Chains A and B, each alone.
Chain A
Amino acid sequence: MKFLRHTALALAACCLTACAADDPYEQGALPKRHFSDPQQREWAEQQFAVHDPLEGMNKGVYKFNAQLDRYVLLPIVDAYTYVTPEFLRTRVSRFFENVGEFKNFTNAVLQGSPEKAGTTLGRFAVNTTVGLLGTFDVATDWGMARQPEDFGQTLGVWGAGPGPYLVLPFFGPSNLRDTAGLAVDYLTFSWAVPDDVEDDTAYRVAFWGVQPLNARYVNKFRYFESGTPFEYEFVRYGKTRMREMEVQK
């Protein structure tokens, strides 16, 4: 036990030193424009601030994700876009949106929102039938708007704060609460899917191949196209604010 505790402490200490971002102000002379008053510095940093104690590690993962995007994901997305017509790609996107109604429904229920749960159930019924297994979103045209909910939001609705900012490999910007939410949503879904379906090859291809491909295809974000060297900071701020709004909605 003692050995385990020591190892954990050592790991944590190592992580903290390696994880904190490098402070450029500790390297030699100060620049001409700087905050001479430490209080003013602290106050100014509150703008666009997000709790990010693992910034060094997060920035490393951000770079990893950008490279993964460039060398692996985007070439696949480009090939996909090249070989399939847009009509088909849209059907694929709609199909996975419809599958996602399961997550939206369970979380609407967990948030105690019969209104969202009702709309979501109605959407699923309409789109699965009239919308040909979800490949057409008829429900939106019929006035039932999509209610995207996830377990991260559910935790937020019940008062959980976001916790530290986290950049996850492949998934991208998140935070501690939403990472836990992601895991719970995944486990709930795979619990609901019967074992013999889960072992089916077609299912595996769809959920471990086509779904991530579609996820990258629908996300229009491209790394380092913002034209600002502060992209990490603005993405962090924007993502955090968006999640706050989604929890409130």
Chain B
Amino acid sequence: MTILADTAPSYDYPIQNPYAATVITLPPEQKVDLSDMPDPEEKTLVLFPDREIPEGFWYEEGLRYSQLLQDKQAPLVYVIAGTGGDPRASKMKALARMLYCSGFHVVLLPSPTHPNFIINASQDFLAGRPVNSARDLYRVMEKIDARVTGEVPVSERMLTGYSLGAMDAAFTARLDEDRKKLNFSRVLLINPPYSLASSIGVVDRMLYVDLPGGIDDADHFIERVMARLGSLSSSGDALDFENERLLLDAYEQYKLDDASLATTIGLSFRLSAASMVFTSDVMSHRGYIYPPEAEFTTTTDLDTVMAIALRTSFNDYFREYYLDMVRESEPHATLDSLTREASLAHLDGYLRNNPKFGLITNQDDVILAPGEIDKLAALFGSNARIFSNGGHLGNMTHPTVAHAIVQFMQKGGQP
């Protein structure tokens, strides 16, 4: 198993374009081979048994997390998904398998921005505020920890996450210093944003690169991309989703240019935002995009609400919803103070040169604003490992990166 090799394999990540790297990730044959590792086991956790959940969410029966446990004592790693992600995401499964095959117990958690988390694990339905997310995540982890230790001995606890999940990991680790229940010994941040607000701005602008009219043109954009992908398929199938190389082929044959790749990333974030805002609003009955007195059931017509939700950016959400909600308990909060708070700079005193922390990211990560990569490098000092290319998480399953992830969890120091 290459992951367990003592010497790191050389870094030969092939895609130089950061947008392409983000969307395509890796050609299947270059991914670290985890095919003989088991699938994580899915579990459900009910945190608020008295909570009323609208019938429209009838399929929500508790927080969905996954686990892969060794059959003997081992360190336990909690993994937090990125924006809109859950334990079924392929990146989550890959992380679980690479850690499991290196001797760790692994627990996979959905992002606090995922509807399943908002409905079942969020105290106040306010998604996206790192300090609140950390409190919710900590409650979840304490409950899961009790379950896991009832099954198998745990020697110590570690924490990791990617993208927004990495920022959540940093805030959760900070909270752990006060609560002292889990006592994380190592925390690894994989491709984190530096400042949530600036990353949101960057990603939101990407939507418009190939879509000047915004969501109003999304229909045509999707048709265009699907038609181009369809033209590649030699078989009679319109689109061959089984073909793992579909996107790579499309890129190599110039069917997907930079602009459409950037817009694809922006669009996927916007869909996550729409789902998050809708879920939060329906659960809190605050009447931001969903009529506050309306019931939400299986047969509710969502066409108009979806049209509104898709036209609501993360930015709109922060200005028009999040700020109001925070102000109810903290009347002096401003957009500025909340922006500063949702950033790794806010934890500077805690993170800087803290040997517990490691950072893995890429020089060309597309969610970072200019200059932020240098701030991250300075913050994590000798415990930062910055790869020359890979975009946003495109290289996470490359053998060199996988090796770095596992090495940090096993030994600490520079990943």
Q: Which residues of A contact B (CB under 8 A)?
A: 20-25, 27-35, 41, 43-49, 55-56, 59-60, 62-63, 66, 104, 116, 140, 145-149, 223-225, 227-230, 232-233, 241-242, 245-246, 248-249
Across the interface, which residues of A come within 8 angstroms of B281, CB to CB?
Answer: 31
A55-B301 contact in complex given A47-B216, A149-B236, A229-B278, C-beta closer than 8 Å: yes
In angstroms, Cα B281 to Cα A1, docked, is 52
Looking at A24, A32, A225, which has the most chain B CB atoms within 10 Å of its CB? A24
Q: Using an 8 Å CB-CB cutoff, how does the interface string of B270-282 with A read, 1 for contact, 0 for none?
A: 0110110011011
Residue B292, interface by CB 8 Å: yes
Known contacts being A28-B294, A47-B215, A229-B279, is A241 close to B57, with CB within 8 Å?
Answer: no
A223–B298 Cα gap in the complex (Å)? 14
Decide if B50 is an interface residue (CB 8 Å cutoff): no
Is the Cβ of A241 less than 8 Å from the Cβ of B88?
no
Of B59, B116, B271, B301, the residue contacting A66 (CB under 8 A) is: B59
With beta carbons under 8 angstroms apart, the residue of B86, B230, B292 that contacts A31 is B292
Whether B304 pairs with A249 at a CB distance below 8 angstroms is: no
Judge whether B300 is part of the interface by a CB distance below 8 angstroms: yes
Task: Say whether B297 contacts A22, CB under 8 Å.
Answer: yes
What are the residues of chain A within 8 A of B116 when measuring CB–CB? 227
Which of A46, A146, A227 contacts B86 (CB under 8 A)?
A: A227
- Summarize A's interface: helix, strand, loop or mixed: loop
Chain A residues with CB under 8 A of B282:
229
Q: Which of A104, A229, A248 contacts B56 (CB 8 A)?
A: A229
The smallest C-beta distance from A135 to any residue of chain B, in angstroms, reads: 19
Contact A59 B298 (CB under 8 A): yes
Q: Within the complex, which residue of B58, B219, B293 is in contact with A63, where a contact is CB–CB below 8 Å?
A: B58
The distance in angstroms between the C-alpha atoms of A43 and B300, with both chains bound, is: 20
Chain B residues in 8 Å Cβ range of A148: 236-237
Contact pattern, B 224-256, Cβ under 8 Å of A = 1, otherwise 0: 001100100011111100000000000000000
A45 and B307 within 8 A (CB)? yes
Q: Is B46 an interface residue (CB 8 A)?
A: no
Residues 289-308 (chain B) with a chain A CB within 8 angstroms? 289-308
Chain B residues at the A interface, C-beta cutoff of 8 Å: 56-59, 84-86, 88, 114-116, 215-216, 218-219, 222-223, 226-227, 230, 234-239, 271-272, 274-275, 278-279, 281-282, 287-312, 316, 320
Nearest chain A residue, comparing its CB with the CB of B216: A47
Distance to closest chain A CB from B125 (angstroms): 14
Q: Name the A residues within 8 Å of B114 (CB-CB).
A: 227
Q: Cβ of B301 and Cβ of A229 under 8 Å apart?
A: no
A–B Cβ pairs within 8 angstroms, 6 of them = A32-B289, A34-B289, A47-B310, A229-B302, A241-B226, A248-B238
Interface centre among B86, B234, B299 (most CB of A within 10 A): B299
Contact: B238 with A249, CB < 8 Å?
Answer: yes
Q: Cβ of B298 and Cβ of A245 under 8 Å apart?
A: no
- B299 with A59: CB separation less than 8 A: yes
- In the complex, which residue of chain A has the Cβ closest to the Cβ of B279? A229
A43 neighbours in B (Cβ, 8 Å): 216
A241-B226, A245-B227, A249-B230 are known contacts. Are A56 and B289 too (CB-CB below 8 A)? Answer: no
Q: Decide: A24 near B301, CB < 8 A? Known: A224-B59, A229-B279.
A: yes
Q: What is the chain A residue whose CB lies nearest that of B56?
A: A229
- Distance between Cα atoms of A29 and B223 in the complex (Å): 36
A85 vs chain B, min Cβ distance (A): 15
Least CB distance from B202 to A in Å reads: 22
Cα-based distance from A22 to B55 in the complex (angstroms): 13
B304 touches A35 (CB 8 A): yes
